[in-house]
Amino acid sequence: MIDKKSISTILFDLGGVLIQLHGGPFKPTWRANATTGNEVWSLWKRSDAVRLFESGSIDSDEFVQRFIAEAGLQVEHDEFIAHFMKWPARLFPGVEEMLQELSQSYRLAALSNSNALHWPMVMQDMRLQQYIPDCFASHQIQAMKPDRKAFDTVLHQMDVRPEEVLFLDDLQVSIDIARELGMQAVKVTGTTGGVETVRSLKLIQQ
């Protein structure tokens, strides 16, 4: 249960919460041995190249070169980039209306594991910056969820107490860390993103 009366700020993850993802970060068929969807995610989550890129330590060209070698992909640089840029597909239906309504009562923020390729697209092309004043990307703050440093950076820069923050994410490990730090946190499940979760918490009109 959450304590709605104490919430001043809603902190959103982006992918899977506000943004609908299309497939995975790379095609399973690019590997010599067939790779399942679960294996794609496993490779992605444990990748050193991804961690360096999404913490702002290497640029996009070095990331692509490193990741292709690391994952054993049979693909050219430009084809990888073209697919990778289509991964964040669109906002979930109802996100813009939800954010507009929430902004009347709450301070809105976002904390996302992102990178220099995706961030301009989701902020400008998808217009999230228009609705969310405080946006924190891992490659800019040089810390990725679920590292505590990422959450501490947000709390410090926003000058907000953890118990005043409602955090919405689709990964349990990030939810667990947020709760350990004193935030109120709810896991987003299903295929409709965070809109249904926010409705279920009765933070907006049905």
Instruction: Give 24-76 pLDDT, tens digit per residue.
Output: 999 999 998 756 767 888 899 999 999 999 999 999 999 999 999 999 999 99
Q: Across residues 105-112, what is the average pLDDT?
A: 98
Q: Across residues 128-142, what is the average pLDDT?
A: 97
Percent of the chain with pLDDT strictly greater than 70: 98
Q: Which domains does the chain have, with CATH numbers?
A: 4-21+88-200 (3.40.50.1000), 28-84 (1.10.150)
Q: Which residue has the higher pLDDT, 206 or 71?
A: 71
Distance (Å) of CA 185 to CA 1, 41, 137, 164: 9, 23, 19, 11
206 — pLDDT class (breaks 50, 70, 90): low
What single DSSP character describes residue 85? Answer: T
pLDDT of residue 40: 87
DSSP annotation string for 146-187? TSHHHHHHHHHHHT--GGGEEEEES-HHHHHHHHHTT-EEEE
Whether the pTM exceeds 0.75: the reply is: yes
Mutual angle of helices 60-71 and 77-84, in 10-degree steps: 100
What confidence tens digit (pLDDT) does each residue in 153-202 have? 999 999 999 999 999 999 999 999 999 999 999 999 988 899 999 999 99
Phi, psi of 129, rounded to the nearest 5 degrees: -65, -25
Q: Across residues 134-159, what is the average pLDDT?
A: 98
pLDDT of residue 22: 93
Helix, strand, coil fractions of the chain, as percent rounded to 5: 45, 15, 40
